[in-house]
Amino acid sequence: MRRSPTNNARIALTVNGETKELLFAPNKTLLEVLREDLGLTGTKHGCELGECGACAVLLNGRPVLSCLVLALECDGRQVETIEGLADDARLHPLQEAFADCGAAQCGYCTPGFLVTAKALLDERPNATRGEITEALSGNLCRCTGYIQIFEAVEEAAAKMGAKESK
Amino acid sequence: MMRAGRFRYVVAKSAAEAAQALADGGGKAMLLAGGTDLVPNMKRRQQMPEIVVSLRQVAELREVAMNGETAIGAGVTLADVVRDPRLRQHGALFRAVAQVATPLIRNTATLGGNLCLDTRCNYYDQNYEWRRAIDFCKKAPGPEAVAIDAVADDGDGTCWVAPSSARCWAVSSTDSAPALIALGARVTLLSSRDGAREIPLEALFHDDGMHYMTKRADEVLTRVRVPHDGVRSTYWKLRRRGAFDFPALGVAAAVRFGTAGVVEHARVVLGAVASKPLLLPESSLLVGRALTDDAIAEFVDATARWAKPLDNTDFLMTWRKQVSKLFLGGVLRELRGDDVQTFPLLARRAATLRNPVW
Ligand SMILES: Cc1cc2nc3c(=O)[nH]c(=O)nc-3n(C[C@H](O)[C@H](O)[C@H](O)COP(=O)(O)OP(=O)(O)OC[C@H]3O[C@@H](n4cnc5c(N)ncnc54)[C@H](O)[C@@H]3O)c2cc1C
Ligand code: SF4
Ligand code: FES
Ligand code: FES
């Protein structure tokens, strides 16, 4: 059994493929460590209580709510945030499709939608509208009315599929 | 911004280590599984454990085994329950778990955490400032009292739902418990003092919003066993929003039919109407006859007394009471094979579940 000291926690956190030794207050959530200790503010801070999906990140490839995960729990796990989505200067097809389809208005919900949709397409490249709706049902958007978001995910899926079959 | 308070973090490597850590903590330690209930509660200062015992590395709790029965580890995530084709045979469990929270939450939330989910109340599930403005309540009576024990002891504070009441009426809001009780599930509890003991799931709960579990604070829930006894089962959930919400009502039923559609075995359970899931004793009225319209109507009338919702959750009380009749009849009609598409709109919505992929 390993005990960490009361004041500071130290873990090795892998974010977007880069592993860092981090020292932080043990009561912090992954969201707080990403934004405050790593300066990765792409992941948004919304309700803090699991209700909005703005804070979604991928943990070992699965979308989770970073506001509900203690950073300490991520020791040795792979975290992927919106900052890791683009391939250097090349946007991810989902990012392009969101821009093309008007799937982002104020943009606050967008990083959460993008990483959640990425996990879906990684697993189901041909996801149906029903599967997209279900997968994104924990991400709230107050601006778009969702339709453009679903369309953007479909467009990205089509593009990614076309590229693969070439 | 709400931050969790300070605590000491312990990583258990086995269920036995977790049990030992709880025993060492003497009531000031709590288990952390997915954290989707505990972390928000810590942020709102509803629960303030001094020691948090992480179950993340306890691999033995994440196993599912099929061996003439189904055994599910307490640490299996709800997403994995939904994905596992072997578990589809337990219709009520699948239906209930697929409707817990959101796909994002189900990726971390566990079955054990869902069974041990804190009870809910409009006067309790609020942030610290909100609760301070009403001078808190019995279940979480202010910071001094809460700080002493991870889960506050009896006594202080008013109940805003029933001010003259000696008890707390916070509502059992777990979706999986009614379903698993209907399925006849048993749970194993492990402590360093007594080793393992197994009880029927319905015996895990108390009808008391504060002390809602019979489980001692030093016990770890390790496993849920579901018999393969040929039942057909389902779960209907009433909630405010179609996408996700805690249940305002949950009805689970499991029925085994013999020759000529005669019912051999039936268990019907109500969730979210009391501080524990209610296994309806009238279920036995269904046994020994076919599920005719008359049999269903008699059952619904006989069970009306149980659905006594209080004014501490969503929707109007009187309306919820009416809906509970509709649902009690509805689950039985579904199990006898009626086409749920012909039901009134509300029942149809509760019965038809989109195909979840996560
Ligand atoms: C926005 C939102 C919506 C939600 N909607 C629903 C809903 O519709 N239906 C529903 O049922 N729930 C809902 N929940 C609550 C919660 O997400 C689930 O109940 C979840 O399954 C809890 O599991 P967990 O592993 O995250 O539990 P945790 O938060 O880790 O633990 C919950 C409690 O169980 C105890 N515990 C955990 N594991 C064990 C164990 N093995 N032995 C003994 N005690 C244990 C913990 O100490 C704690 O007291 C919702 C939560 C949020 C934030
Ligand atoms: S039922 Fe009463 S004591 Fe219990 S949480 Fe609600 S207001 Fe508090
Ligand atoms: S900030 Fe995490 S769900 Fe809203
Ligand atoms: S674009 Fe504004 S919340 Fe979604």
pLDDT in tens, B155-198: 578 899 888 888 999 999 999 999 999 999 999 999 999 999 99
Q: Is B248 helix (H, G, I), strand (E, B) or coil?
A: coil
Q: What is the mean pLDDT of residues A126-151?
A: 96
The token pair that represents A1 in the structure block:
């059994």
Q: Are residues A121 and A154 in the same domain?
A: yes
pTM to 2 decimals? 0.94
> With bands split at pLDDT 50, 70 and 90, how would you rate the model's confidence at B144?
low
Would residue A153 count as lying in a domain?
A: yes
Q: Do A1 and B105 touch (CB under 8 A)?
A: no
Q: How far is CA A132 from CA A25, A56, A81, B182, B263, in A?
A: 37, 16, 20, 32, 40
Tell me the one-letter amino acid at B214: T
Q: Are residues A101 and A161 in the same domain?
A: yes
Q: If phi over 0 gives left and psi between -120 and 50 gives alpha, with beta otherwise, what is residue B70?
A: beta
Q: Are residues A101 and A148 in the same domain?
A: yes
Number of structural domains (chain A) is 2
CA distance A3 to chain B (A): 5
In this predicted structure, what is the pLDDT of residue B241? 79
Q: Tell me what the pLDDT averaged over chain B comes to.
A: 91
Collect all residues from B whose CB is shorter than 8 A from any CB in A: 1-13, 17, 21, 32, 34-36, 39-40, 43-44, 52, 54, 56, 79, 101-105, 107-108, 243-244, 354-358
Would residue A155 count as lying in a domain?
A: yes
| Residue B339: pLDDT over 90 | no
| Residue A4: pLDDT over 70 | no
Q: Do B9 and A32 touch (CB under 8 A)?
A: no
A45-100 confidence digits (pLDDT tens): 999 999 999 999 999 999 999 999 999 999 999 999 999 999 888 999 999 999 99
In this predicted structure, what is the pLDDT of residue A7? 52
- Measured from CB, residues less than 6 Å from any atom of ligand 2 are B 121, 123-124, 137-139, 159-161, 168-170, 209, 312
Q: What is the length of chain B?
A: 358
Q: What is the mean pLDDT of residues A124-132?
A: 95
A134 inside 8 A of chain B by CB: yes
Q: What is the mean pLDDT of residues B345-357?
A: 58
Residue B246 beta carbon below 6 angstroms from any ligand 1 atom: yes
The token pair that represents A159 in the structure block:
């593009």
Non-local (6+) Cβ contacts of B134 within 8 A are B123, B160
Would residue A109 count as lying in a domain?
A: yes
Nearest to B108 among A27, A32, A64 (CB): A64
Q: What is the mean pLDDT of residues B206-217?
A: 96
| CATH code, A64 | 3.10.20.30
Residue B105 beta carbon below 6 angstroms from any ligand 1 atom: yes
| Residue A110: pLDDT over 60 | yes
Residue pair B226/B111 in contact by the 8 Å Cβ criterion = no
Nearest to B2 by CA among A47, A43, A42, A38: A47
Q: How far is CA B48 from CA B31, B143, B145, B205, B299, in A?
A: 12, 9, 10, 22, 43
Residue pair B278/B307 in contact by the 8 Å Cβ criterion = no
Q: What are residue A129's phi and psi, to 5 degrees?
A: -55, -40
Its domain, for residue A134, covers: 93-165
Q: What is the mean pLDDT of residues B300-317?
A: 82
Residue A111 CB coordination number (10 Å): 25
Nearest to B35 by CA among A42, A43, A49: A49
Q: Are residues A101 and A159 in the same domain?
A: yes
Helical H segments across chain B, by residue range: 15-25, 38-43, 78-83, 91-98, 103-106, 111-115, 128-133, 142-148, 176-182, 293-303, 317-336, 345-351
Q: Are residues A50 and A75 in the same domain?
A: yes
Mutate which of A29, A35, A41, A48 for ligand 3 pocket (most atoms within 8 A of beta carbon): A48
Would residue A76 count as lying in a domain?
A: yes
Instruction: Give the sign of the dihedral formed by CA B207, CA B248, CA B162, CA B36.
Output: positive
Distance of CA B1 from the midpoint of ligand 3 (Å): 12
In this predicted structure, what is the pLDDT of residue A134? 94
Q: Are residues A134 and A69 in the same domain?
A: no
Q: How far is CA B286 from CA B185, B250, B256, B289, in A?
A: 20, 20, 11, 7
Q: Are residues A113 and A56 in the same domain?
A: no
Would residue A63 count as lying in a domain?
A: yes
Q: Are residues A20 and A79 in the same domain?
A: yes
